[in-house]
C-alpha cells in the first residue's frame, strides 16, 4: 500500500468499510457549507490524541470548529475516531495527507468528514464520491486543477501555493476558472490570509502558524485560541471588503 508507512492501516473492501464505518453526524452538504463559512482549515500535526483534543478545544474557543488531522500524526486514524466520538457535530474532523483510496477508506470508517490530499489521485476522488464524503485533492498547475475538478472534487487544494506566487497565483487561476473552489495551503499565514481570500480562495489551509503545538506543550493553549480568533477576523474582514459578485462566484 502506498501510504502504509503513514497511517498503518489495513486495506479493506467497500463492504467492510460500510459495515464498520462510524456514523457521520453531518451530511456532505453540511460539511461543505461549514468549510466555506469558516474559511479556515487548521492542519494539525499533533503527536497524540490528547494533544489533538487540546488543539480542538483551543481553536473552538477562538471560533473555528474544524480541523484536518494529517496521516503523518502517529496513529492518525485512531486519533480521528477519538475526536469524532468526543466532539460529534460540534467539530468537523477531516483527514489530511491521504494518498490513496485504502487510507481514505480507513479514515472514512473512523469517521472523517472530509478528505484532503497534497496530490491528485483520481481513484481517491472516486472513492470519496462513492461514499458521499467531501474530497479536496491537491493540485498545482491549471491542468491538474481542472482535472481534479472535472473528476468530482468538492474543493481543490492548491499546494504548495506559497512556492508559486501565493495569493497572486490564486488570482491568476480564478480568472479563467471562477467556478472552481480553491483552498491554498503552503505559504498561508496571518499576514497573507486576507490576500488569499481577496484573491478568490474559498478557504485557506493553515498549519503551524495557527496550530502551535509547541505552545500547547508549554501549557499556553491560549496562544492557539488567540491565533484562531485572528484568522477568523482576517477572513471575515477580507470577505466584507469584497464585492458580492466576487464572493458568489
Q: For 84-124, how does the pLDDT look when each residue is reduced to its tens digit (9 = 90+)?
A: 999 999 999 999 999 999 999 999 999 999 999 999 999 99
The reply to whether 148 falls in a domain is yes
Query: How far apart are alpha carbons 103 and 134 in whole angstroms?
Result: 15
What is the structure's pLDDT at 10? 37
- pLDDT tens digits for range 170-183: 999 999 999 999 99
The reply to whether 52 falls in a domain is yes
The reply to whether 16 falls in a domain is no
Give the domain CATH number at 119: 3.20.20.70
With pLDDT > 90 as the criterion, what percentage of the chain qualifies? 84
Catalytic residue status for 8 = no
Residue 126 has pLDDT above 70, yes or no: yes
End-to-end Cα spacing for the chain: 39
Query: How far apart are alpha carbons 76 and 96 in whole angstroms?
Result: 9
Q: How many domains would you assign to the chain?
A: 1
Work out the mean pLDDT of the chain and round it to a whole number.
Answer: 91
User: What mean pLDDT comes out for the span 205-219?
Assistant: 94
β-partners of residue 135 are 115
User: What mean pLDDT comes out for the span 223-243?
Assistant: 97
Quick one: pLDDT band at residue 2, thresholds 50, 70, 90?
A: very low
Quick one: pLDDT band at residue 232, thresholds 50, 70, 90?
A: very high
The reply to whether 3 falls in a domain is no
Catalytic residue status for 68 = yes
User: What mean pLDDT comes out for the span 52-60?
Assistant: 94
- Rounded to two decimals, the pTM is 0.90
Ramachandran quadrant class, 75 (left: phi over 0; alpha: psi -120 to 50; beta: rest) = left
Residue 17 has pLDDT above 50, yes or no: no
**Which residue is catalytic, options 68, 102, 174, 181?**
68
The reply to whether 152 falls in a domain is yes
144 closest CA partner among 154, 161, 156, 128: 156
The reply to whether 79 falls in a domain is yes
Quote the domain boundaries for residue 173.
Answer: 36-247
Helix-strand-coil split of the chain, %, nearest 5? 50, 15, 35
**Which residue is catalytic, options 8, 57, 123, 157?**
157
User: Helix, strand, or coil here: 199?
Assistant: coil
User: What mean pLDDT comes out for the span 67-80?
Assistant: 95
The reply to whether 214 falls in a domain is yes
| Long-range own/partner contacts, residues 25-28 (CB < 8 A, 24 or more apart) | 25/88, 25/89, 26/89, 26/92, 26/113, 27/132, 28/132, 28/133, 28/134, 28/154
Q: Are strands 92-96 and 40-44 parallel, antiparallel or unpaired?
A: unpaired
User: Helix, strand, or coil here: 139?
Assistant: strand
Q: Where are the alpha helices (DSSP H) in 39-114?
A: 49-61, 76-87, 101-110
What is the structure's pLDDT at 11? 38
With pLDDT > 70 as the criterion, what percentage of the chain qualifies? 88
Cell of 197: 481570500
The reply to whether 69 falls in a domain is yes
CA distance readout (Å), 174 to 135, 170, 239, 245: 20, 6, 16, 13
What is the structure's pLDDT at 248? 52
User: What mean pLDDT comes out for the span 144-150?
Assistant: 98
With beta carbons less than 8 A apart as the criterion, state whether 109 and 121 touch. no
Amino acid at each position: 500500500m502506498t501510504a502504509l508507512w503513514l497511517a498503518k492501516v489495513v486495506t479493506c473492501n467497500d463492504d467492510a468499510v460500510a459495515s464498520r464505518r462510524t456514523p457521520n453526524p453531518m451530511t456532505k452538504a453540511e460539511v461543505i457549507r461549514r468549510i466555506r463559512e469558516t474559511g479556515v482549515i487548521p492542519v494539525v500535526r499533533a503527536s497524540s490524541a490528547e494533544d489533538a483534543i487540546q488543539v480542538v478545544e483551543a481553536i473552538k474557543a477562538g471560533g473555528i470548529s474544524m480541523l484536518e488531522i494529517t496521516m503523518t500524526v502517529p496513529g492518525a486514524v485512531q486519533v480521528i475516531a477519538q475526536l469524532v466520538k468526543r466532539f460529534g457535530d460540534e467539530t468537523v474532523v477531516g483527514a489530511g495527507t491521504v494518498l490513496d483510496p485504502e487510507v481514505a477508506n480507513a479514515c472514512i470508517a473512523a469517521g472523517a468528514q472530509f478528505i484532503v490530499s497534497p496530490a491528485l489521485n483520481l481513484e481517491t476522488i472516486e472513492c470519496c464520491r462513492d461514499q458521499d464524503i467531501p474530497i479536496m485533492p491537491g493540485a498545482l498547475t491549471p491542468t491538474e486543477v481542472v482535472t481534479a475538478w472535472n473528476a468530482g472534487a468538492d474543493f481543490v487544494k492548491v499546494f504548495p501555493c506559497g512556492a508559486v506566487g501565493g495569493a497572486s497565483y490564486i488570482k491568476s487561476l480564478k480568472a479563467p476558472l471562477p467556478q472552481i473552489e480553491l483552498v491554498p495551503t503552503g505559504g498561508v499565514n496571518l499576514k497573507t490570509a486576507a490576500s488569499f481570500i481577496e484573491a478568490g480562495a474559498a478557504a485557506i489551509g493553515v498549519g503551524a502558524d495557527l496550530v502551535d503545538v509547541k505552545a500547547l506543550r508549554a501549557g499556553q493553549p491560549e496562544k492557539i485560541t488567540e491565533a484562531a480568533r485572528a484568522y477568523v477576523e482576517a477572513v471575515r474582514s477580507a470577505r466584507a471588503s469584497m464585492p458580492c459578485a466576487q464572493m458568489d462566484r
